[in-house]
Structure 1
Amino acid sequence: MKGTTWGDRLFDGFNYTLLAILGFITIYPFINLFAISLNDALDSLRGGIYFLPRKFSLLNYQIIFEQGDLLRATIMSVTRTVVGTVCGVLATVMVSYTLSRKEFVLRKPLNLILVFTLFINAGLLPSYMLIVNLNLMNNFAVYILPLLISAYNIIIVRSYFEQIPDGMVESAKIDGASDYQILFRVIIPVSMPVIATITLFIAVMHWNSWFDNYLYTSGNKELNLLQLELMKILLTSVNEVANSSNPTNSDALKTNPDAIRAAMTIIVTMPILFVYPFLQRYFVKGIMVASMKE
């Protein structure tokens, strides 16, 4: 604090206080859900649970993990997320590199078409008909191919590639490097911040997806995802509570849909929370690099 004026310290204090308040507002809902998920469900109906469970219970998680298909669905969700993320990042990087090269003849029209897709969406029915005609129904590929390319991600990566000095690419070409060698040995190593960003975007998208499972692969239980199985558990809980006079499950009167929903939110959020810290440093680096290049 040496050499700083009173006004500087006041300004820093205001910034720290504001950031602390914003951080609390962001984190508190998750803490509250975690407390509710660990609290006795019937006791939660009284309200007043904020940071810690009032009556500790693991019944909410027990009801979820007792479902026989949950482990298989979790493995399928992890497989889809890993395969979809690797394929999506690779396809996005390759398309973005092509569209960022000024010598590519179709660069401008394809970029216009790409932006056009952000504003125009054909809707669900044409998409469903396309999936049927491609024989992707009840096929694992339906999780990967339709989501392989995202116009938004391509625009982000392409813009980052355009900021890389042309001298790096020209030097590699003089040394006899092919386009693939330039992409994988020159461009990608200096573009890790933006690649880490879209990796998280794509991974979260695949991990949270469930509607395509419900729509396209409902005829094959082996392809059911964790999110769809959790939704079934929630619907079962709602129905059993609604018919509590004659429950089909002995635990139906010991829980409530809100408690089950809180436990489900924690289950599907934890993997992303574990992955995010490893990518956070790339986000900070990406912001610094972008500000220097601007």
Structure 2
Amino acid sequence: MKRKTASGLAFDLANHVLMVIVLGIMVLPFLYIISYSLSDPSRLEGGFVFVPAGLSFDAYKLAFQDPAIVKGIFISVARTLTGPALMLLVTSMAGYVLTRNELVGVRFLRKFFVFTLYFSSGLIPLYLVMNYLNLLGTFMVYILPAAVSVFNMILIKTYIEGMPKGLEEAAVMDGANEFVLFFRVIFPVCLPVLAAVTLFESVNQWNAFIDTQIYNTMSPNLFSLQYVLYNTLNSTTSNLELLKSQVSNHQNIATPQSLKMAITVITVLPIACVYPFLQRFFMKGLLIGSIKG
């Protein structure tokens, strides 16, 4: 092995220092939020809190007593499970269709879908379409518009095109039609890229709150957890009724600030715990087939 030069060692040192700084910038805010939410409000003295000042779960107890948060968790979990499942079915089938060069008009369809990546109709026409379809104030407004993802479709199409043609030819020779060919041959082989696009959509569904703000502001029962967090962070009187009831019962009181921190942790923690385990599928789905001999 060659010995590194002084300039190479200096570069490695600067690179490691930079990565440590970036890691600190990313980790310290989360550490502060978690520590603040677990601290006893009476022992907080201001400033940054990196270690809980006394262990207290009052903010979390108060958060889970709020019906809006409980409903928000249910809505977010439901859309995170339902949305990616439908998107996976529709988008994978569309991606498979776009690989069929013998299909009449397939070149136009490819250009049409790519066109939608660069140009959109805008918010007002989209709202009018949702209103015309009677999706406003319904749970399906979270699911149906996301049923087709052109970006994910292109990923799946590219992955299928990189598969050996012998798979399809063997299935056709055995008498398989298009449905059998897709669901029993193509679909199982595409699991890496399907896992990657499912991860994309799951993260998008879990973090989404703009669609709630646009379509379901008048339907509190359909507020996602992220929209509840958004309202909480923009309100100084959040959960006022529960705070008053605690005062009347002489219980320990969680401050509005610690409550906001607790709701933030509840919102971020699930996806933060799941994402690292799914990251390997993400990398595998995007890189397999990208390098060919």
Q: TM-score range by the shorter chain?
A: 0.7 to 0.9
Q: What corresponds to 1:201 in structure 2?
A: 200
Q: 1:41 to 1:235 in 2, by over 3 A?
A: farther
**Separation in 2 of the partners of 1:32 and 1:194?**
36
Contact 2:192 2:285 in 1 (8 A): yes
**Separation in 2 of the partners of 1:35 and 1:54?**
8
**Separation in 2 of the partners of 1:260 and 1:46?**
16
Q: Which amino acid aligns with 1:282?
A: F
- 1:143 aligns to 2:142 (yes or no): yes
Q: 1:16 to 1:187 in 2, by over 3 A?
A: farther
Secondary structure class of the residue paired with 1:293: coil
Q: 1:193 to 1:29 in 2, by over 3 A?
A: farther
Q: What corresponds to 2:250 in structure 1?
A: none
Q: What corresponds to 1:37 in structure 2?
A: 37
- C-alpha displacement of 1:16: 7.4
Q: CA RMSD in A?
A: 3.3
Contact 1:42 1:256 in 2 (8 A): no
- C-alpha displacement of 1:91: 0.9
**Separation in 2 of the partners of 1:262 and 1:123?**
34
Q: What do the CA deviations read for 1:25-78 (whole angstroms, capped 9, x no partner)?
A: 5444333332232234576672132x4223433333233222123223322221
- 1:121 aligns to 2:116 (yes or no): no
**Separation in 2 of the partners of 1:86 and 1:27?**
32
Secondary structure class of the residue paired with 2:56: coil
- C-alpha displacement of 1:127: 1.0
TM norm structure 2: 0.81
Q: What corresponds to 2:231 in structure 1?
A: 232
Contact 1:80 1:144 in 2 (8 A): yes
- C-alpha displacement of 1:131: 0.9
- C-alpha displacement of 1:7: 4.1
Greater Cα shift, 52-61 or 90-99: 52-61
Q: What do the CA deviations read for 1:170-228 (whole angstroms, capped 9, x no partner)?
A: 22111111222222222222222211111111111111222322332334333232222
Structure 2 spans left out of the alignment, 5+ residues: 248-252
Q: 1:191 to 1:42 in 2, by over 3 A?
A: farther
- C-alpha displacement of 1:230: 2.9
Percent identity for Structure 1 against Structure 2: 35
**Separation in 2 of the partners of 1:218 and 1:240?**
17
Q: Which amino acid aligns with 1:265?
A: T
Query: 5 Å matches for 1:88-237?
Result: 88-236=87-235
**Separation in 1 of the partners of 2:26 and 2:263?**
19
Contact 1:42 1:254 in 2 (8 A): no
TM norm structure 1: 0.81
- C-alpha displacement of 1:108: 1.6
Contact 1:41 1:256 in 2 (8 A): no
**Separation in 2 of the partners of 1:212 and 1:284?**
29
Q: What corresponds to 2:86 in structure 1?
A: 87
Structure 1 spans left out of the alignment, 5+ residues: none
**Separation in 2 of the partners of 1:288 and 1:211?**
31
**Separation in 1 of the partners of 2:229 and 2:188?**
39
Contact 2:80 2:206 in 1 (8 A): yes
Contact 1:100 1:162 in 2 (8 A): yes
Q: 1:41 to 1:90 in 2, by over 3 A?
A: farther
